[in-house]
Chains A and B, each alone.
Chain A
Amino acid sequence: NAGVTQTPKFQVLKTGQSMTLQCAQDMNHNSMYWYRQDPGMGLRLIYYSASEGTTDKGEVPNGYNVSRLNKREFSLRLESAAPSQTSVYFCASRDLSSYNEQFFGPGTRLTVL
């Protein structure tokens, strides 16, 4: 039982490049989330997926797109990376049957030059 996994762990991009961050969970959770974490700030929600086939914007969705590929996988895409997107990105899933407890992946550290 790996929990929530993310790839890659580190990535450096040049401004304007695109990339996709991958996330998978093996806990059979319906809802999945993408957050970004910046120094001195709490985690901010980018997008979430309440269930397979649905996605919704969070607090800071601009510049990002997501795909809920199936129940296990939820990807985050940066179409044209900007230096303001330099951050640590966390994927999470939620167990609605266990009082909404949330579980996190190890994170992807992204630098945009």
Chain B
Amino acid sequence: KQEVTQIPAALSVPEGENLVLNCSFTDSAIYNLQWFRQDPGKGLTSLLLIQSSQREQTSGRLNASLDKSSGRSTLYIAASQPGDSATYLCAVNGGGFKTIFGAGTRLFVKA
């Protein structure tokens, strides 16, 4: 059974710092991995999707990497801003209709 873990559960950093959020999964037979952002009281916004054949995806200041063999993905945020404060969720899809979500990392960027 696939399990997805995100560590740390919460993170506080000063503005301008580069940071890494971690996501680990137990079954390496994945189809894709998706990173989401969730603002308080809002829905999930897709940030990046990495296919199983890819090693990384980039969008602006965000870079997501995937290492299936070790069961890990990281989300790198460069030059963090207060507007980046949110909860970040990773989600693993094994190729079917079901997706397993991590519990999320709550990020606070201090001005």
Q: Given that A31-B97, A50-B97, A58-B98 are known contacts, is A40 also in contact with B103, CB under 8 Å in the complex?
A: yes
* Complex CA–CA separation, A44 to B109 (angstroms): 28
Chain B residues packing against A (C-beta within 8 Å): 4, 31-32, 34, 36, 41-46, 49, 51, 89, 91, 93, 95, 97-104
Q: What is the interface of chain B mostly: helix, strand, loop, or mixed?
A: strand
* Complex CA–CA separation, A104 to B31 (angstroms): 19
* Complex CA–CA separation, A109 to B43 (angstroms): 11
Chain A residues packing against B (C-beta within 8 Å): 4, 31, 33, 40-45, 48, 50, 56, 58, 90, 92, 94, 99-107, 109
In the complex, number of A-B residue pairs with CB atoms less than 8 Å apart: 59
Output the least CB separation between B6 and chain A (Å). 9
Q: Given that A99-B49, A104-B44, A107-B43 are known contacts, is A42 also in contact with B89, CB under 8 Å in the complex?
A: yes
